Amino acid sequence: MKFLIIRNSIHTGKPIPDKQGNIIAQDLQRLSNCTVGETVIFASVTLSDDAFLNYLTERKLLLNTKIKIVKIENFDKSITVEVAGKQEVLSRKATEKILVKK
């Protein structure tokens, strides 16, 4: 499933037009749909809950951060990612709410 989300958006993906009122759309996908070896850019989330945003911030997952998919667990589909040279394991629940671009 692909999502049409707007560039210049805050974490929630809500459109923010530029000074001229233009909104530039782009295709995003869930991090959970990525494959091992892919490197993607963190673009938005589908949940703006404070606890979730803190979870992301603690793991250095900020807007426009490069994320490399290192491993996907067969059992629970959790994903090991590399962010800024450090590996983190993200739950399936979290990766379904993170939107990325290639």
Sheet strands side by side (includes 66-72): 2-6, 25-30, 98-101, 39-45, 66-72, 79-83, 86-90
- Which phi and psi angles does 52 have, rounded to 5°? -70, -45
The single-letter code of the amino acid at 36 is V
- Cβ contact 82:68 at 8 Å: yes
Determine the pLDDT at residue 40.
98
Determine the pLDDT at residue 19.
74
Q: Both tokens of residue 71?
A: 């491993």
The residue extents of the domains of the chain are 30-101
Determine the pLDDT at residue 17.
61
Q: What is the pLDDT of residues 13-22, one digit of tens each?
A: 555 566 776 6
- Residue segments in the chain with a per-residue pLDDT below the cut of 70: 1-18, 21-25
Determine the pLDDT at residue 23.
61
The answer to whether domain 30-101 has CATH 1.10.3720.10 is no
